[in-house]
Amino acid sequence: MKPLDIYITLLGQFALLSILAIGGANAVVPEIHRLSVHDQHWMTDTQFVDLFALAQAAPGPNVLVVSLIGLQVGGLLGALITTLAMCGPSSILAYTISNAWDRFRERPWRKATQAGLAPVTIGLVLGSGWILTDAADHSWAAYAITAATAALTLFTKIHPLWLLAAAGALGLAGLV
Amino acid sequence: MTEPAPAPTPRELFLGFLSIGASGFGGVLPFARRMLVERKGWLTPAEFTEVLSLCQFLPGPNICNVSVCIGRRFHGLRGSLAAFGGLMLVPFCVVVALGLLYARYGHRPEVDAAFDGVAAAAAGLVVATGLKMLDKDRRDALALVFVVATFVGIAIFRWPLLILLLVVAPLSVLIVWFRRFRKAAP
């Protein structure tokens, strides 16, 4: 068993992130990175981006990157706690509020909140991209792969799995 | 209006969301829509849009919120638990299996080399997501100021998210509010 403290930290930190995740899981990647690599020293930059890449390559919601962080830190129980902590508070909020949605969806404050949060979410997701690039790329070839993947995703309909696989093959060939 | 499909049982909710969770690569929402609206007919397109707009308004993983709201609509707490459990079961097991493989073989030089490439590409996917949102949500200069401020705060200064949100988010919302308010006034 790991010390209880670790599970409590995972539970508390990710439960807080659940409520801060405006616009979804991609918006909190910078905070998860800061927490895992700099504050708690659970893993290195390289391990962090590897786990992120694994979650991208797996089917299902993007939020599962937190399960991998939990697994790394506290085994299977850590993965479960982290996943439930990340989904729990926001799910409870959704459960409680969905009934009242009809009553407030047309209210001006709701529209102002949504319109005001949108640029913040975009800034956070761009920040995620920046931080992942900074942590993952150690060579010009790696930067080229990041740029090419972004461009191909923006301008073609290539499935992301192909891009990840091709980049993996380049890495395996010793080119990155 | 077509005849609505009969309400799903908790078991059907679980199985429906199980197939949604298991099939989506790089984002599950398109699968969710196809499944819930087109194949099962549990929701009309308008109802789905309504649920989605609520779930995008709320914090947290959007698709998890969708499962909770739709489960609740049909069977309250039991329905929510069934839908959420179905959604997460397969992807969670897959990702844990991958994580265990990584823990075991991640240190090998060839795995390490492959991940140098994959991680660079994964970063590129997120960059593209951010740029797409920026393009789709193209706004006025003031909104752009908040995009840049948030980006600089989180990525360059590496401020804690809580602090950043407490400062930037209310400011951004208030400014939108006052501009609309002023526009609405004669």
Residue B177 with chain A: CB contacts under 8 Å: 108-109, 112, 116
Distance CA A155, CA A61 (A): 23
In a domain, A41, yes or no: yes
Domain that holds residue A45: 4-106
pLDDT in tens, A162-172: 999 999 999 99
Using alpha carbons, list the distances in angstroms from residue A88 to A11, A143, B43, B125: 10, 36, 24, 27
- At residue B79, φ and ψ (nearest 5 deg) are -65, -40
Q: A132 and B96 in contact by Cβ < 8 A?
A: no
- The answer for A 105-144 residues in CB contact with B (under 8 A) is 105, 108-133, 135-139, 142-143
Best of B161, B175, B181 to disrupt the A interface (most A CBs within 10 Å) is: B161
In a domain, A111, yes or no: no
- Residue A77 tokens read as 């129980």
- Residue B82 tokens read as 């069934």
Q: Which of B68, B74, B63 is nearest to B12 (CA)?
A: B74
Distance CA B146, CA A119 (A): 6
In a domain, A32, yes or no: yes
Can you give the residue ranges of every domain in chain B?
A: 1-105
Does the CB of A84 have a partner CB in chain B at under 8 Å?
Answer: no
Q: Which pLDDT value is given to residue B186?
A: 47
Give the count of alpha carbons within 13 A of B53, CB side only: 16
In a domain, A167, yes or no: no
Residue A45 with chain B: CB contacts under 8 Å: none
Tell me the ipTM for this assembly: 0.94
pLDDT in tens, A98-157: 888 878 888 888 888 988 999 999 999 999 999 999 999 999 999 999 999 999 999 998
In a domain, A65, yes or no: yes
Does the CB of A35 have a partner CB in chain B at under 8 Å?
Answer: no
- The answer for B 9-68 residues in CB contact with A (under 8 A) is 21-28, 50-51, 53-65, 68
pLDDT in tens, B124-181: 999 999 999 998 776 688 899 999 999 999 999 999 999 999 999 999 999 999 987 6
Distance CA A14, CA A18 (A): 6
In a domain, A125, yes or no: no
DSSP character for A99? T
Best of A54, A104, A175 to disrupt the B interface (most B CBs within 10 Å) is: A54
Q: B69 and A98 in contact by Cβ < 8 A?
A: yes
Q: Which of A91, A149, A121, A127 is nearest to B81 (CA)?
A: A91
Least confident range of A14-23, A80-89, B177-186: B177-186
Q: Are A160 and B26 in contact (CB under 8 A)?
A: yes
Q: Which pLDDT value is given to residue A70?
A: 97
Residue B185 has pLDDT above 60, yes or no: no
Q: How many domains does chain A have?
A: 1
Q: A29 and B174 in contact by Cβ < 8 A?
A: no
Residue A43 has pLDDT above 90, yes or no: yes
| B1 — pLDDT class (breaks 50, 70, 90) | very low
In a domain, A134, yes or no: no
- The letter for the amino acid at A77 is L
- Residue A89 tokens read as 């508070």
Q: B97 or A60: whose pLDDT is higher? A: B97
- Residue A124 tokens read as 């956070």
In a domain, A150, yes or no: no
DSSP character for A59? B
